[in-house]
């Protein structure tokens, strides 16, 4: 943001104090940035019939200037409002965008989306934190580390006052499960988190969606007040009432990706009048605009169009075509093109290659600390998942202990019973990891928004999720379950065998969770992800060697056993339980080594055991790496 003094010099951080012609002191208002769009078009790849890929154009040669104040982008559903907003904010894939954007007459820096403020339609804030804590989170990550804590806190308090959040500043934001602030206060909290960085342009996608008329008006009133203090604000909106419409300084009307009107909001009715469409006295202008745009030529008024000699006409044209053509040859477009020409001329005269890349203002360690602290708070204040996981593990441990209580060593029963309990242990610690599917599916919106906004690196989010998922939800249940079952069932005695069991189940749990992480990073729908995960688990279980001996699997499918984490986990547990043990009754004894041999399990050397641990570790590392790569390559447009 820039502030201009009377002599034209640029000052940042404060408004200039001057004297008027009568010698009276006054403070000049800060002047916001100017964003200009030059012939912006946007197309996407769509799959048509017979799986053919074609280009679908969404925006057509959009040109506009967005200055300090409140600019609204209006249009019917599907007109391209949100798409244009995303393109202006640098949140669309550049491969589909043509034309160029200038900010204060200069090219936008790389990764400009980290520089802009963007409030999404569905407010994305941490529900378990208070309004003040959410603002503090944004400030801690997006403001330079050189800024003192006192200055940072002062800025947070200022934004809270500006947005009228004083009464709810220390109240949890809440969601459908946690009581919290109202919808309007939640929206203002989202706006405040973006205002923390004093963005040159603030974008809002449908900020009134889901709000009652009174709350929507109050949101727009706050935005209007902010814009007067030197802020350039651009928002998309569908059909506002007149009290909201009257707050707009500038208006852009779209129809099917084309500009119908762009200019001062109070002159929009004059433009429609020149095209032969007159608004009735008590009709709401935005309703009137959409009625005209959505209509066809046979409805009313098209024969009243003036300046017919100035532009070509066609009786088969729809109202959208008439308005698009009408604006093209109108006084308003002529003024727009003159301003655009001045910007382009100044840009060509003062062109400087812009290789500036907007980077994170805080270090990796600082981000890890702040994001980890928020995750711990969220876990403490919303512990249901952790509590249910631990409780489930405890209940299953008790039931397992009751069913397999103190197994005897009669060879007629020992091998079958012990193999059964070991198989159940592996299955239990694999299938109970379905909760890990929600790690990226449920938190995707929050991650996408914050990562695009420059809050933190992908690696920070990934590491925090892994650590806080593995310790409370994987490690603790394994310890509880193993501690109960091992002694109650009477498995192979000895501290070394106990810790072997615990380490094997922990490695199995983490390996299973890594598969959940990958699937949740690739698939957005929880139901589809759950179905795919179940299929993977069942196939691995069939190939794990419990239902059929490894040597009995046909050579065409034998290789698939090495993809099964069941194989490695069961091999470890079987060796730990049966190796070098004798199971006897009153008449004879059977060696556990004999049983292992009949199962096709190699057990002679230490390497036969260690290679299975190594396989589980590699399995985990590979899947975690693929999950991270997927998060890095996600198309982050929202």
Token output for 540: 């691995």
* Residue written as token pair 């397999």: 404
Question: Per-residue confidence at 158, pLDDT binned at 50, 70, 90?
Answer: very high
User: Of all helices (H) and strands (E), which one includes residue 43?
Assistant: strand 35-47
Q: Percentage of residues in the chain with pLDDT exceeding 70?
A: 89
Taking 50 as the threshold, does the pLDDT of residue 24 lie above it?
no
Taking 50 as the threshold, does the pLDDT of residue 309 lie above it?
no
Residue 439: closest CA among 186, 624, 179: 624
**Distance between CA atoms of residues 431 and 434, nearest Å:** 6
Output the pLDDT for position 48: 67
Q: Which residues contact 37 (CB under 8 A, 6 or more apart)?
A: 62, 63, 64, 65, 66, 87, 88, 99, 101
How, if at all, do strands 250-255 and 69-74 pair? Answer: parallel
Output the pLDDT for position 49: 63
Residue 524: what are its φ and ψ, rounded to 5°? -90, -30
Question: Per-residue confidence at 8, pLDDT binned at 50, 70, 90?
Answer: very low
DSSP tag of 352: -
Output the pLDDT for position 1: 31
Residue 276: closest CA among 252, 297, 245: 297
Mean pLDDT over 347-369 rounds to: 77
**Distance between CA atoms of residues 60 and 72, nearest Å:** 19
Q: Percentage of residues in the chain with pLDDT exceeding 90?
A: 37
Four-CA torsion 265, 269, 270, 271, nearest 10 degrees: 80
Output the pLDDT for position 354: 57
Taking 50 as the threshold, does the pLDDT of residue 303 lie above it?
no
What is the three-state SS of 111-140?
CHHHCCEEECCCCCCCCCCEHHHHHHHHHH
Taking 60 as the threshold, does the pLDDT of residue 22 lie above it?
no
* Residue written as token pair 């049983």: 595
Between 284 and 298, name the one with better pLDDT. Answer: 284
Question: Per-residue confidence at 249, pLDDT binned at 50, 70, 90?
Answer: very high
Among 5-14, 116-125, 363-372, 512-521, the minimum mean pLDDT is found in 5-14
Instruction: For 366-384, write each residue's pLDDT tens digit.
Output: 999 999 999 999 888 888 8
Taking 60 as the threshold, does the pLDDT of residue 493 lie above it?
yes
- What is the largest distance, in Å, between two alpha-carbon atoms of the chain? 118
Taking 90 as the threshold, does the pLDDT of residue 542 lie above it?
no
Among 54-58, 165-169, 259-263, 477-481, the minimum mean pLDDT is found in 54-58
Give the residues across from 27 on adjacent strands. Answer: 17
Token output for 279: 């608004």
Mean pLDDT over 158-181 rounds to: 88
Token output for 260: 């119908």
Token output for 225: 């007040």
181 contacts 171 by C-beta, under 8 angstroms: yes
Output the pLDDT for position 444: 86
Tell me what the pLDDT averaged over the chain comes to. Answer: 84
Mean pLDDT over 313-337 rounds to: 79
421 contacts 404 by C-beta, under 8 angstroms: yes
User: Of all helices (H) and strands (E), which one includes residue 19?
Assistant: strand 17-19
Output the pLDDT for position 471: 78
Taking 80 as the threshold, does the pLDDT of residue 635 lie above it?
no
**Distance between CA atoms of residues 628 and 195, nearest Å:** 30
CA 213 to centroid of chain Cα atoms: 28
Token output for 489: 């069932």
* Residue written as token pair 């602030």: 181
Output the pLDDT for position 104: 87
DSSP E strands in 451-604: the ranges are 582-584, 589-591
Taking 80 as the threshold, does the pLDDT of residue 217 lie above it?
yes
Mean pLDDT over 517-536 rounds to: 91
Degrees to nearest 5, angle at CA 232 with 227 and 238: 85
Among 79-83, 92-96, 100-104, 536-540, the minimum mean pLDDT is found in 92-96
Residues counted in the chain: 638
Question: Per-residue confidence at 9, pLDDT binned at 50, 70, 90?
Answer: very low
Instruction: For 601-624, write each residue's pLDDT tens digit.
Output: 888 888 888 999 999 999 999 999
Between 556 and 174, name the one with better pLDDT. Answer: 174
SS3 109: coil
CB atoms within 10 A of CB 129: 21
For the chain, the straight-line distance linking the first and the last C-alpha, in angstroms and rounded, comes to 24
Taking 90 as the threshold, does the pLDDT of residue 626 lie above it?
yes
- CA of 24: how far to CAs of 11, 21, 31, 229, in Å? 21, 7, 21, 21
574 contacts 596 by C-beta, under 8 angstroms: yes
- The b/e string for 423-451 (b: 16+ C-beta within 10 A; e otherwise) is bebbbbbbebbbbbbbbbbebbeebbbbb
**Distance between CA atoms of residues 256 and 306, nearest Å:** 24
Taking 80 as the threshold, does the pLDDT of residue 223 lie above it?
yes
Question: Per-residue confidence at 3, pLDDT binned at 50, 70, 90?
Answer: very low
- Helices (H), ranges, 589-637: 592-598, 606-633
Token output for 466: 């892994």
Output the pLDDT for position 154: 93
- CA of 279: how far to CAs of 268, 272, 282, 331, 523, in Å? 11, 8, 8, 20, 49
Question: Per-residue confidence at 133, pLDDT binned at 50, 70, 90?
Answer: very high
Residue 247: closest CA among 277, 216, 201, 274: 216
- Helices (H), ranges, 261-403: 268-274, 285-294, 319-328, 331-349, 364-381, 384-403
């Amino acid at each position: 943001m820039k502030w201009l003094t009377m002599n034209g010099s640029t000052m940042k951080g404060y408004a200039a104090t001057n004297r008027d012609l009568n010698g009276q002191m006054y403070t000049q208002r800060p002047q916001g940035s100017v964003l200009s769009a030059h012939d912006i078009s946007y197309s996407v790849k769509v799959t048509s019939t017979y799986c053919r890929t074609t280009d679908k154009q969404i925006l057509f040669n959009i040109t506009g200037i967005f200055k300090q104040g409140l600019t609204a982008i209006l249009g019917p559903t599907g007109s391209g409002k949100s798409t244009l907003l995303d393109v202006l904010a640098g949140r669309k894939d550049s491969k589909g965008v043509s034309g160029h954007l200038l900010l204060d007459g200069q090219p936008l820096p790389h990764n400009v989306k980290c520089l802009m403020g963007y409030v999404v339609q569905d407010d994305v804030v941490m529900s378990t934190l208070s309004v003040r804590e959410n603002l503090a989170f944004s400030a801690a990550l997006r403001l330079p580390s050189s800024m003192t804590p006192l200055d940072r806190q002062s800025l947070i308090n200022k934004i809270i006052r500006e947005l009228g959040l004083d009464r709810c500043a220390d109240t949890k934001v809440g969601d459908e499960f946690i009581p919290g602030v109202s919808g309007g206060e939640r929206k203002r909290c989202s706006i405040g988190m973006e205002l923390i960085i004093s963005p040159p342009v603030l974008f809002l996608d449908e900020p009134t969606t889901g709000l009652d008329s009174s709350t929507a008006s109050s949101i727009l009133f706050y935005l209007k007040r902010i814009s007067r203090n030197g802020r350039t604000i651009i928002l998309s909106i569908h059909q506002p009432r007149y009290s909201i419409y009257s707050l707009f300084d500038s208006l852009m009307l779209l129809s099917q990706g084309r500009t119908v009107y762009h200019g001062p909001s109070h002159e929009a009715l004059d433009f429609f009048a020149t095209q032969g469409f007159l608004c009735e006295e008590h009709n709401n202008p935005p309703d009137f605009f959409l009625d005209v745009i959505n209509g066809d030529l046979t409805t009313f008024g098209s024969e009243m169009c003036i300046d017919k000699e100035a532009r070509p006409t066609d009786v088969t044209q729809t109202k959208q075509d008439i308005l698009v053509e009408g604006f093209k040859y109108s006084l308003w477009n002529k003024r727009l093109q003159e301003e655009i020409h001045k910007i382009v001329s100044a840009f060509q005269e003062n062109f400087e290659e812009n290789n500036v890349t907007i980077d994170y203002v805080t270090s990796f360690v600082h981000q890890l600390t702040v994001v980890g602290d928020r995750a711990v708070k969220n876990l403490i204040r919303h512990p249901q998942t952790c509590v249910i996981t631990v409780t489930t593990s405890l209940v299953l441990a008790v039931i397992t202990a009751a069913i397999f209580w103190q197994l005897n060593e009669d060879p007629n029963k020992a091998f079958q019973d012990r193999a059964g309990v070991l198989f159940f242990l592996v299955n239990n610690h694999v299938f109970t990891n379905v909760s890990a599917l929600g790690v990226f599916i449920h938190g995707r919106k929050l991650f996408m928004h914050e990562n695009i906004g420059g809050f933190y690196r992908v690696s920070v989010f990934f590491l925090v999720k892994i650590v806080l998922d593995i310790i409370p939800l994987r490690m603790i249940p394994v310890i509880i379950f193993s501690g109960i079952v091992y002694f109650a069932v009477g498995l192979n005695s000895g501290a070394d065998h106990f810790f072997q069991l615990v380490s094997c189940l922990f490695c199995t749990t983490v390996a299973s969770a890594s598969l959940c992480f990958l699937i949740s990073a690739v698939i957005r729908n929880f139901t589809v992800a759950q179905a795919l995960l179940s299929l993977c688990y069942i196939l691995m279980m069939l190939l794990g060697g419990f239902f059929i001996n490894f040597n009995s699997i046909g050579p065409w499918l034998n290789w698939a056993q090495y993809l099964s984490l069941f194989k490695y986990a069961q091999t470890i547990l079987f060796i730990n339980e049966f190796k070098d043990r004798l199971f006897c009754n009153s008449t004879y004894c059977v060696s556990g080594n004999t049983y292992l041999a009949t199962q096709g399990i190699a057990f002679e050397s230490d390497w036969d055991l260690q290679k299975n641990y190594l396989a589980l570790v590699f399995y985990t590392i590979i899947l975690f790496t693929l999950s991270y790569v997927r998060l890095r390559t996600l198309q982050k447009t929202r």
